[in-house]
Structure 1
């Protein structure tokens, strides 16, 4: 018989005693002890290693007293997982999920259950990081190569990236790329008035700070006597019309400008692709390929162009190279980091993608294949033709002559608003086009009953003069010259996995090629790869959140509005700001939005000439890129040898530029992982000279509950919800990057349908009003379950874990930057440069050898070349922290063996890492070290071994021979 008393004693000993004894208002929930990876006993053990008596003493020595928040955050008491889920379910029930026929680039769709369960709901896919260490990301990279191939095929262009944030952002990036490529002095960008309205709004926002004139008009009436550098066209148009853009694009090219076509991805299975009628760039959304609406996101946009523009493509491109054994291997290609290298010369700040959503869309294509997606498109079109025919028989005029899935309907002597109201009474949403016209968009989920209901709405009665069956086989409205004649999705991957068994195995095979948080810790400095708890993830796929159109009427989305209001209130309390905007759907967008707010503030005060942005030399590459995109001039500020901002240099440059100073961009704790004691003085200097302080919130995980940016001088700050607030990284996206602002900046926050009349918003940053709304549920759950005490404890433990690892590694590696008490914040920079001097061991050798130990490398060579930045987060166990330290110590000892001559300097485990099973088993073993040393360098690797599928990848070869599609891969193999 089990000793139940013993079991209970064992369990309770693992939990902090104060979680039991505190009054209910202060009690941490049981979730707190699940989220934080160490228990009270282990905390004391780690403190002993540091020579510090208590966690409070550690925090007192780490966080400057001048900025400490000496009161608890005013947040609701922590809830258990079940209680939080029940509360959020009650909130979700306030959303009314109507049948949506709104269109505008957003469609209901069917996520194949095998993809839903094995990708979207699978932590093996959603907890991995951006594939910068390609050898341990071959599965994700293959899925993204499939995505690129699918986009290349469907658009008829030569190269595609691995996704962008949304269609509006992608169109804006196309404008920016066209502007940079234009050889003339043209300063105007033409946008056809028939583009989706939300795309037009994002374009206008992005163009303004760059001084670009946006001309919005009917493309057929445009006078080319006005010089333009580019043009944007919608295909099909927002009202559903399929237009022939050939002659217009020829005129665009005659004007030495570039033509961008925003194309519906499903329609391209039937319509002539943009690349075949002259488009230079094609953009769009892949949402309808199996990704839920989610009130606007997250969704994967696509971006395709001609091969000659490959170095100007924003975002990331997956390319094919080879490993040291000559085996084909995938990695992120040439321009992936170029935007960061360019810094203030960058044309885009995009360092993020929508990888998880791009994987879903690509697998939708893989599962259905060419015949399957075409069948879906044909059915949608047939239903739209039938709908139009029925409405015509009822006496209505169809405004769209040639269409795919969307029609405009003239309402005759009836008001459009009245018909929309009748539809709403039947829980159906129609689109208002004007007072006498409505739009109707059909999709993959449309049924026979939907058409009957729509006809009855327009007929004003239940009885119809025709039947569904007799209208179903009407002739297509697509003109013969508009039909696609070229094949697509011919590659083997799109023709092999059409049964669930085969796709299930394929997905699992790809998953096992990758290292995610399901394998081991990913201690990436500045990237905060913490637990994405299952309870946090569950609500994402609830229908009440997933099946809501982003432009559904506000009265139908009261659940979402409550979610937003509560999350905004909580984030404002955590940061000390007056208000929060949830719209930016990436950290890079948060940077851009924050600087735009500052710019608008200066303009509103008659100081639009303030354009100088001070940025520390150590800043993340997106910081200067964001400033340039906002029309600012970047001036670098020096850092001292401890990694802190050089206060004297800051004062000198602030004084020099005082008449034109717009902002300082600063990361806190610093990019070097230290709480700068002078942060208040730094902010004061900027304010004294008329500037605003923008804080990069990448390191907010070291502040929650301990200090608040709004209290010590920041005017605006973006938060990475995919870091500090537990939204998973998804292999390189999704993300959410909301901004918080002080009261004087509130009127300038990004526009939404609820923007007050007295506000002066900067305009739309994302295509959807609340960005990636559906995944905000994750951060809501995290805060609700942690409560004030849990959040604060998590921050303290994150700082403890980083200092513990730094202390354990210090006898072997130098810790580059420390605070005044000799401590780091929540991350630390370990110097590997001495290994290079003594043993010719490069930082990449260490990164690849860590794979043999079953670990992901820390952040490599940033912010200091030849170093690694380690951030363990609060989620990891002491056992995992110790294993990682043991691996780093073992690697140090291998390097020392090289230095003292006992290991060959060229043929050794470090230089040959990572070791694949094939290289160990097949053929002769000629290395001077054993197979066991290569494959099982630590005891735990014999318990569970993660194997890389490929050896070290030759990046230079791949850049010289760029191949970025499956078809290209086959050619490469030959």
Structure 2
């Protein structure tokens, strides 16, 4: 056994398992299985041109050597990114803890109560600091959140504004440059007209439906926006404010001056810079917009016993329900980062945050005063953390970089300095010494921080925040460690058992891939530092782009999109730009199969395209004749086809090359959704099937953890003709020579998370990647065979094989009074997270085991599913008091004095012998979603409620 092989550690089945599994599925070899599963005309004829695998030890040395190429300067660039201090208790117990980072999106609320509570804390924190009524559970970054605000306010225009096609959106020239770029990207396809200007000169014309302001401005100046907002509302103009989260501790909240939406990032609440991400963006608004707010919202409801429970609220707003009627495609949050930011507030509490914010502001005041003593003119009159100094920017930059210090230089005569939580007196003296050298003067070192305040009294916060008990209880490490552990115990993650979610690919997130994320050589790099200071990152990102380009069979890759849904949008915008470059501005029809992901039609509409749905055959494949008919009908205006391969039904459609050719023959481009790429790597690829662009879910196929619903990374890979249009960035040059404007805030998106996928590919190597795909297909077909006779697999390939996932038809069980949801809840009693429920077919479950799971774990899951099938057979529709309908069963139920159920406690809690060895207890009974939506509560209860409960 080659113990230094990463492949041995990543792939679940052993050599002994392989023989037994092949025997079960009646195949002589993995090669035969692949031959019977994947159409021959799309199989790769030669191996991928990738390196051979590094061992974990070799990779550790390799990545450490690369990290040394990053120059970690003291950086005061700002522009929405600031060095932050991550408390070690949060780093060790959340960031580095698989109990938190391997969890899935909390669709199954009963086994996600810990994460849901952490997100409710986060939402409460955002509402308190912004002064708004409702916040979601995070978005991808500040710029994305700002774009969502622009489009949401567009969607909620008054009837008269819609009738008169009011489409102008005012953007303050104080907005961050990356946010302006992203606003431009999102405005173009929706025909929103951006008008950039000085908010102090705005005329409040009725041609505008909305406006966005930066608070404080990108220059650091703090403006009083109360008068602006009042005049805007008088003109029926709604106002969004992009706010710095830490400044809101000291400044009056946007809610207090009547803003309609507040957005920003929580990065400076303890989250590493990571060369741009991942970070949790925030979005807060009025409750009146609860039906149109983008992203996920965590709400309070009750369980079957009437006890308090949490779940995701108002899911009917989301794109998987609304499809092409959705106003947003953002299904991905940044849950892990939101949890960390929320815990930062729990740990520090209101007094701790006030201390940090006051220290940052006082440091800026002190530095400003000392620089003025040296003869420099400081331009900002009211500021929180950023001062602007007049001076020779070229000379200052040269001396600053020699002292390993980065400032921001908006023009040749101005230097902007944004201070942060990590800034010390020693750092202030270093800055002072740089400017003293510029003018050739001596300086007096700073001994203490000036506590005077330059923020005008009318701009200062005078309201309480974070008054809830949770923010005032866990300020010692012991207490916070125990609180985090208490929440962790309520969540089922991959460190407990397999999560067999179809289309979601919950595979091993290896520790050796994750370790670099804790290294400050990777964590403390600002995304806008000069490229030569980030050579370690540049080598990794360039190599990862090359690896993904080779794997997909394309010509180039952009790592900028930081979620799969954002990757879809990016791919379609690149297609749009390609058509426009050819003079085909009229091409706006997007064909989408009826089985497509919910984000597909939402993304197409966001990209300004009209969705035409194509039919599926009885076998679940794309109806090629219907596709041909619609492609011909719309050939003059056809822009694209969006297709998932293998299909969302878990089948390698043999007609895929014919399908892509039909689109090309009619002038369109083919977009391939990368959700099922785990069934392609090393065997076939999007290039081989005839696609032109695909996005990849690095949080699926390439091992970035789901983190409870994020981080995600969704890079796009493109064919030669689309390379010129890959997305750019307004601060650091990226993308093609005809680049579309930004897709996410940072030049390379969530660069820190990309280290994980780089490690995955580098340690598996060319052979390991192919074997991972083969074993994913093996594991799926093994489950299919073991469940044969108990469940009907809805769709199979032409030779009777599944791809890497399969759909089980649970609709016949309705005769017994059993819905697919009942199976999902009963699986919790067996210690498993449910497979994907009612997607893509209502009343079914879709199972994907991944290559990471061993035969033993697959057998436990199959045993559970078979046992549940027997329980279904014993139930009747006229008797809802049964083990299926009452699932999941909690510890409180099992230990209660009374037991009023017609089955034993043992059957409820320990239905199979293996369960007793590693029992996971759901912390609440089945939740009532409808009750929570009727009684929407999306923040922690006020402290008075806790006091009443205790009394």
Task: State TM-score, norm by structure 1.
Answer: 0.95
Change (3 A) 1:140 1:327: same
Mapped to 2, the partners of 1:557 and 1:504 lie a distance apart of 34
Question: After alignment, is 210-219 or 514-523 more displaced?
Answer: 210-219
Contact conserved, 2:732 with 2:747, CA < 8 A, in 1? no
Matching residue within 936, 950, 965 for 2:924? 950
Question: Is residue 277 of structure 1 aligned with residue 277 of structure 2?
Answer: no
Contact conserved, 1:725 with 1:782, CA < 8 A, in 2? yes
Cα deviation 1:395-423 (Å, max 9, x = unaligned): 11111000000011111xxx212211210
Mapped to 1, the partners of 2:316 and 2:383 lie a distance apart of 38
How far did residue 322 of structure 1 move? Answer: 0.4
Matching residue within 809, 827, 830 for 2:787? 809
Matching residue within 691, 694, 705 for 1:717? 694
Question: After alignment, is 78-87 or 687-696 more displaced?
Answer: 78-87
Cα deviation 1:459-516 (Å, max 9, x = unaligned): 117864434136x225210011111111000000000000000000000010010000
Alignment match, 2:484: 507
Alignment match, 2:707: 730
Alignment match, 2:796: 818
Mapped to 2, the partners of 1:370 and 1:888 lie a distance apart of 48
Mapped to 2, the partners of 1:551 and 1:125 lie a distance apart of 30
Alignment match, 2:883: 909
Alignment match, 2:211: 231
Cα deviation 1:945-968 (Å, max 9, x = unaligned): 100110000111000000000026
Mapped to 2, the partners of 1:599 and 1:207 lie a distance apart of 14
Matching residue within 170, 173, 190 for 1:193? 173
Mapped to 1, the partners of 2:49 and 2:188 lie a distance apart of 39
How far did residue 906 of structure 1 move? Answer: 1.1
Alignment of 1:958-973 (within 5 A): 958-967=932-941
Alignment match, 2:430: 453
Question: Is residue 634 of structure 1 aligned with residue 634 of structure 2?
Answer: no
Secondary structure of 1:526's partner? coil
Contact conserved, 1:321 with 1:330, CA < 8 A, in 2? yes
Alignment of 1:46-61 (within 5 A): 46-61=21-36
Alignment match, 1:16: none
Question: After alignment, is 672-681 or 753-762 more displaced?
Answer: 753-762
Mapped to 2, the partners of 1:969 and 1:667 lie a distance apart of 49
Mapped to 2, the partners of 1:465 and 1:619 lie a distance apart of 66
Contact conserved, 1:312 with 1:335, CA < 8 A, in 2? no
Contact conserved, 1:343 with 1:622, CA < 8 A, in 2? yes
Alignment match, 1:23: none
How far did residue 558 of structure 1 move? Answer: 1.1
Alignment of 1:584-603 (within 5 A): 584-603=561-580
Alignment match, 1:339: 319
Mapped to 2, the partners of 1:812 and 1:712 lie a distance apart of 35
Alignment match, 1:430: 407
How far did residue 336 of structure 1 move? Answer: 6.2
Question: Is residue 925 of structure 1 aligned with residue 894 of structure 2?
Answer: no
Contact conserved, 1:108 with 1:288, CA < 8 A, in 2? yes
Mapped to 2, the partners of 1:697 and 1:399 lie a distance apart of 49
Contact conserved, 2:467 with 2:942, CA < 8 A, in 1? no
Question: Is residue 108 of structure 1 aligned with residue 108 of structure 2?
Answer: no
Q: Report the number of matched residues.
A: 941
Cα deviation 1:611-631 (Å, max 9, x = unaligned): 000000011100000000000
Secondary structure of 2:107's partner? coil
Mapped to 2, the partners of 1:912 and 1:624 lie a distance apart of 37
Contact conserved, 1:29 with 1:78, CA < 8 A, in 2? no
Contact conserved, 1:315 with 1:336, CA < 8 A, in 2? no
Alignment match, 2:330: 350
Question: Is residue 776 of structure 1 aligned with residue 751 of structure 2?
Answer: no
How far did residue 77 of structure 1 move? Answer: 1.0
Contact conserved, 1:963 with 1:969, CA < 8 A, in 2? no
Question: Is residue 117 of structure 1 aligned with residue 92 of structure 2?
Answer: yes
Question: Is residue 45 of structure 1 aligned with residue 3 of structure 2?
Answer: no
Mapped to 2, the partners of 1:45 and 1:920 lie a distance apart of 38
Contact conserved, 2:694 with 2:718, CA < 8 A, in 1? yes
Alignment match, 2:394: 417
How far did residue 73 of structure 1 move? Answer: 1.0
Mapped to 2, the partners of 1:754 and 1:381 lie a distance apart of 28
Mapped to 1, the partners of 2:26 and 2:721 lie a distance apart of 45
Mapped to 1, the partners of 2:749 and 2:42 lie a distance apart of 32
Matching residue within 157, 181, 197 for 1:182? 157
Cα deviation 1:661-684 (Å, max 9, x = unaligned): 000000000010000000000000
Alignment match, 1:834: 812
Question: Is residue 893 of structure 1 aligned with residue 870 of structure 2?
Answer: yes
Q: Unaligned stretches of 5+ in structure 2?
A: none
Cα deviation 1:211-266 (Å, max 9, x = unaligned): 11111111001122361111110001111111011111112212212100011111
Mapped to 2, the partners of 1:466 and 1:721 lie a distance apart of 51
Contact conserved, 1:100 with 1:549, CA < 8 A, in 2? yes
Contact conserved, 1:92 with 1:544, CA < 8 A, in 2? yes
Mapped to 1, the partners of 2:660 and 2:451 lie a distance apart of 68
Change (3 A) 1:581 1:477: same
Change (3 A) 1:948 1:756: closer
Question: Is residue 391 of structure 1 aligned with residue 365 of structure 2?
Answer: no
Mapped to 1, the partners of 2:260 and 2:152 lie a distance apart of 11
Matching residue within 667, 673, 678 for 1:701? 678
Change (3 A) 1:807 1:757: closer
Task: State TM-score, norm by structure 2.
Answer: 0.98
Matching residue within 40, 43, 57 for 1:68? 43
How far did residue 29 of structure 1 move? Answer: 6.1
Question: Is residue 140 of structure 1 aligned with residue 120 of structure 2?
Answer: no
Question: Is residue 154 of structure 1 aligned with residue 143 of structure 2?
Answer: no
Secondary structure of 2:481's partner? helix
Mapped to 2, the partners of 1:335 and 1:150 lie a distance apart of 22
How far did residue 435 of structure 1 move? Answer: 1.3
Question: Is residue 760 of structure 1 aligned with residue 738 of structure 2?
Answer: yes
Alignment of 1:157-556 (within 5 A): 157-183=132-158, 184=161, 185-225=165-205, 227-335=207-315, 338-411=318-391, 415-460=392-437, 464-469=442-447, 472-473=449-450, 475-556=452-533
Cα deviation 1:555-608 (Å, max 9, x = unaligned): 111111111111011111111010000000000110000000000000000001
Secondary structure of 1:509's partner? helix
Mapped to 2, the partners of 1:654 and 1:597 lie a distance apart of 20
Matching residue within 626, 635, 638 for 1:649? 626
Alignment match, 2:771: 793
How far did residue 919 of structure 1 move? Answer: 1.1
Alignment match, 1:5: none
How far did residue 442 of structure 1 move? Answer: 0.4
Mapped to 1, the partners of 2:122 and 2:447 lie a distance apart of 37
Mapped to 2, the partners of 1:485 and 1:67 lie a distance apart of 66
Question: After alignment, is 354-363 or 747-756 more displaced?
Answer: 747-756
Question: After alignment, is 614-623 or 453-462 more displaced?
Answer: 453-462
Cα deviation 1:734-753 (Å, max 9, x = unaligned): 00000000000000001146
Contact conserved, 2:324 with 2:611, CA < 8 A, in 1? yes
Change (3 A) 1:758 1:733: closer
Mapped to 2, the partners of 1:666 and 1:397 lie a distance apart of 58
Matching residue within 532, 537, 540 for 1:563? 540
